[in-house]
A and B are shown apart, each in its own frame.
Chain A
Amino acid sequence: MSFLTGANMTGGYGKGPDILHDCTVAVDKGEIAVIVGPNGAGKSTAMKAVFGMLNIHSGHVTLDGEDITKLSPQQRVVKGMGFVPQTQNIFTSMTVEENLEMGAFIRTDDFSDTMAQVYDLFPILKEKRHQHAGELSGGQRQQVAVGRALMTKPKVLMLDEPTAGVSPIVMDELFDRIIEVSRTGIPILMVEQNARQALEIADKGYVLVQGRNAYSGTGKELLADPEVRKSFLGG
């Protein structure tokens, strides 16, 4: 059993049809796990299912050995899950520093050293900490978003397409930052559109097709798998 596991999840939004079918994703300490797949494969849905944002009627989610299938997303945050949504993931009208403070809202202890760590990870944020987050560039906004999620000192970090809509250069930089975050010991589960780059940094990869696990393995294995290359990585 991995540190965070969404096992055999089947379900969909509200009363709608099932989107996920017996789908399993997991991530262990010190790992980066990446969910890739074609458009509409249910990548983000799988991530949201792990975070409790939709109902799964079979399967279960465990965190650190504890079954958290029935918990609400807010309760999961308290349990130590950090989640960065794909869009609208920052408070645009608040300063960078206030964004981080809000990230630490549930903490009652002193969080100044966590903030210092975040600033170490993302030096640009320290520079712009009194600017409104809405005035930052796309890549910087994503850093604010990740930084906000890190403020709870999460046991696991979940990123929904962190590089959506940023330029290739910024994308590389963001991936570097994500590796750095992972080196601090936080397991990272991430959904990515840019499958090749993501698999290159991934310890574990899941290829989803129509809500089902099609392939899984280490990042390298998947990159080397001719089937995967042919179908998803453009040869």
Chain B
Amino acid sequence: MDFLNGFVALSNFVLIPAIAYGSQLALGALGVTLIYGILRFSNFAHGDTMAFGSMIAVLVTWWFQGMGLSLGPLPTALLALPFAILGTIALLLITDRTVYRFYRAQKAKPVILVIVSMGVMFIMNGLVRFIIGPNDQKFLDGERFIISVREFKQMTGLREGLAIKTTQGLTVVVAVICVIALFWFLNRTRTGKSMRAYSDNEDLALLSGINPERVVMYTWMIVGALTAIAGTLYGLDKTFKPFVYFMLLLPIFASAIVGGLGSPLGAIAGGFIVAFSEVTITYAWKKVLTYWMPESLEPDGLVQLLSTDYKFAVSFVILIVVLLFKPTGIFKGKSV
């Protein structure tokens, strides 16, 4: 019984939050890794693109709520998601047309593109703050829990409760759908294969008659969809605040690099590695250990390895360790 109680506590505070957070990171990292694979630069504006996408979701959700539209137990934001995706895609395509394409034609060095993306980051950041302001915004509605602590306790009779938030369940389901769709697209469709070919060997792709501008366009469209979804899910699950998305840049990049930049599979693995490390290291284990350890060994303190304020340090340490020992990441990314 103690073991079960401990496991439930572990699931409630570590496993479930980490899976949801990992899915959000994985979706973000997929975007970073696709841009890196096709356009060959690290996109610093990625966090702010996420903020932009979720901002549209927030605004459209409010509009729907105002009209009385809802999805019953599911958040209305799901209805707004297609608009967020289209809006983000439009923003990215406009950005590519007005900004990035010029440097592509010049065959600019990757680091120049990174600096350019810094400029884009400023603009997107300013745009989001300009439109919706720098503050927290609430746009979650519908049923809050799939299973609440009370229900779970009644159901199982255990002392520990387990709660699964609707947003957590939603995150995982949507992420799984996205990943399946993405891999189907990359591995089964002609366009998807041409993207992989372009990422693998640009010159040979050109020789094969693959049109780079089309590949780039599809990449931005996929990235737009992924970022809008990742941003909205994160906003629903945690909170929508423009600055928070900027700060997500670090764990997202850590995920993509740990998995191997340019490798979609790696981005997913990396997202979960980073999320699980962050949550386990900043979780206070006292509760779980009290159940699992014999009484004489029960811990006095919180058994929290690092305070939650240091969660960036976790991403960072993972990043450094991987870079020092396996510079191309777990799934052999590319190095430019």
Which residues of A come within 8 Å of B, CB atoms? 73-74, 77-78, 83, 85, 88-94, 98, 101-103, 105-106, 148, 152
Contacts and interface: CB of A to CB of B under 8 A. Distances in A.
A94 B197 contact: yes
Interface in B177-206: 190, 193-194, 196-197, 199-201, 203-206
Contact of A94 (B190, B193, B207): B193
A104 B320 CA distance: 42
Contacts of A73: 206-207
A119 to B, nearest CB: 19
B79 interface: no
B209 interface: yes
Contacts of A148: 204, 208
B210 interface: yes
Interface of B: 190, 193-194, 196-197, 199-201, 203-210
B305 to A, nearest CB: 38
Given A93-B196, A94-B193, A94-B196, A103 B203 contact: no
A189 to B, nearest CB: 16
Name the residue among A78, A94, A152 with the largest chain B CB count within 10 angstroms: A94
Given A91-B196, A98-B193, A105 B209 contact: yes
Nearest to B263: A93
B77 to A, nearest CB: 36
Contacts of B190: 101, 105
Contacts of A78: 209
B206 A74 contact: yes
Contact of B200 (A74, A92, A101, A103): A92
Contacts of B208: 77, 102-103, 105-106, 148
Given A101-B193, A102-B194, A105-B190, A91 B209 contact: no
Name the residue among B190, B196, B200, B208 with the largest chain A CB count within 10 angstroms: B208
Contact of B207 (A74, A92, A101): A74
B193 A106 contact: no
Given A77-B209, A102-B194, A105-B190, A93 B200 contact: yes
B273 to A, nearest CB: 22
A83 B207 contact: yes
A191 B180 CA distance: 45
A224 to B, nearest CB: 37
B204 A91 contact: yes
Given A98-B193, A101-B193, A105-B194, A77 B207 contact: yes
B203 A102 contact: no
5 contacts: A85-B207, A90-B204, A98-B193, A98-B197, A105-B197
A89 B204 contact: yes
Given A98-B193, A105-B190, A91 B201 contact: yes
Given A91-B197, A93-B200, A102 B206 contact: no
The 9 A-B residue pairs with the shortest CB-CB distance, nearest first, are A106-B209, A91-B200, A102-B197, A93-B200, A105-B208, A102-B208, A105-B209, A91-B197, A77-B209
A94 B193 CA distance: 9
A85 B203 CA distance: 10
Contacts of B204: 85, 88-91, 148
A98 B201 CA distance: 13
A45 to B, nearest CB: 16
Contacts of B196: 91, 93-94, 98
Given A93-B196, A98-B193, A105-B190, A74 B203 contact: no
A77 B206 CA distance: 10
Contacts of B194: 102, 105
Contacts of A92: 200-201
Contacts of B205: 91, 102
Contacts of A91: 196-197, 200-201, 204-205
Nearest to A88: B201
A87 B236 CA distance: 49
Nearest to A151: B208
A85 B209 CA distance: 15
Contacts of B201: 88, 90-92
A17 B204 CA distance: 26
